[in-house]
Amino acid sequence: MSVEALTLEGTLLRNHVLHQPRHVLFPGASQFSPGFGEASWRAAVRASNEHLIPRVLTLGFQAFRAGQVGDPAAYLQALLSSLQLQAGELAEDREVAAVVLQLGLAEALSPALLAQLLDAVPQHLRTVARPQVEVRLDAGSDITPAQLREVGCTRLNVIDRAGAPGPELLAQAQKAGFTACYYQLRVPASNDIGFLPRLHSVLALAPERILLPAPCASADSPSADYWLQAWVDICAAGYLPLGGDHYQRADCAMPVRRGDGVRHCDLAGVPRRDRSDFIGIGLGACSQIGDVICRQESDMSRWQSRLQSGHSGVVAGLIFSEHERLTDEVVQSIACDHSLDVAAFEWRNGLPFGECFEDALAELPALIEHGWLRWDGQVLHLQREGQLLWRIIAACFRSATAAA
């Protein structure tokens, strides 16, 4: 389908793709309570330690923004101190299965400093035999993929940027020996005439995954036409929706997606096979521990001061109420599986689905009429366009917190 056909036939789709809510998977930071502090965080970790399943962890190391830190070595030491403090509270049998180096960290720390950070993880926490280490790299970065592979990164995610040679960076990564390479699109601007040509170059390289844009960071004068055409071209190339914004190459193993609440998108936006705790480390980093979300200090001097006094640096957080926990379960099923098994929800929680989400159910008929959803018995399935607009469907269940 061409851009012209989308313009004529997909007016409704075009209007909605640019107006998707930002905070659907998780509440926005504005909803965190400053009354949630160190004691609450430690209580959440203790409660999580007592759960039998799952025991695995994901670590997410956050970069600092320009002007926040003058000395990268000092930032590394703060990361290491925070890692040690977090590890000291976690049960000894907790295992790190995945590490995410967030966008900007590879540029903020030299390869030698990154190597020290990654080497420190198994010194403080148990790791599975081969933990994944995903590094997110801006398309215009001067860091070479080979340098990142040498220090222990196993997966590389190139983040697209207008005017930057993202496809060339991806091609370098594919030659560097990563176990998987991804390419993540940003919201396209109307004046970015190179957006679709870059995407077509990426499709020719056939990375394991391509990620559609997320509305959390929009462009000036965003283009719905470019966004929709990218989705059409990705699907036409044989990529299949994996969950969230992730589309996976068809020859890669696809998980079973039942809509039963088992799979989970973590705070880094990665769909995983089950729900596990996510430990965020760094300035402004967020963590999810059980049904608790918290955020660390975003000022460097205050964060260092807290770390020196033996505190993790948590300054705000949110404890899910029972209804928020149920909502999270439903939203995660819609995001990760693009389906929702009502019978599985009722069996697991011992509650009638209709009474829990009466208002949300009243909104679904209009989406079904658009062709975005369909019921198959007690299973709600997102159709092709609904998979693109999963945030709008999920927001029916979290309407109070899904501020656009």
pLDDT in tens, 21-52: 888 988 887 889 989 988 999 999 998 888 76
Residue 4: is its pLDDT beyond 70?
A: no
Residue 404: is its pLDDT beyond 80?
A: no
Cβ-contact 384, 208 below 8 angstroms: no
Cβ-contact 118, 126 below 8 angstroms: no
Give me the percent of the chain exceeding a pLDDT of 70. 95
- State CA 201 to chain mean position distance: 25
Residue 1: is its pLDDT beyond 80?
A: no
Residue 2: is its pLDDT beyond 60?
A: no
Residue 353: is its pLDDT beyond 80?
A: yes
Q: Tell me, what's the pLDDT at 53?
A: 64
Range 251-261 average pLDDT? 86
Of the CA atoms within 13 Å of residue 213, those in its CB half-sphere come to 28
Q: Which residue has the tokens 């089950």?
A: 274
The residues facing 375 across adjacent strands are: 380
Residue-wise DSSP of 185-245: PPPPBTT-TTHHHHHHHHHHH--SEEE---TTSPPSSB-HHHHHHHHHHHHHTTEEEEETT
Question: What is the spatial distance between Cα 148 and Cα 141, in angstroms, rounded to a whole number?
Answer: 12
Least confident of 51-65, 265-279, 329-343: 51-65
Least confident of 5-19, 90-104, 185-199: 5-19
Range 343-358 average pLDDT? 94
Strands across the sheet with 277-281, in order? 239-243, 246-249, 209-211, 180-184, 155-159, 126-138, 95-101, 56-61, 277-281, 286-289, 292-296, 314-319
pLDDT in tens, 117-158: 999 999 999 998 888 999 999 999 999 999 999 999 999 999
- Alpha-carbon torsion angle 340, 249, 6, 161, nearest 10: 110
Q: Tell me, what's the pLDDT at 125?
A: 95
Amino acid at 70: G
At 236, the pLDDT band (50, 70, 90 cuts) reads: very high
DSSP state of 275: -
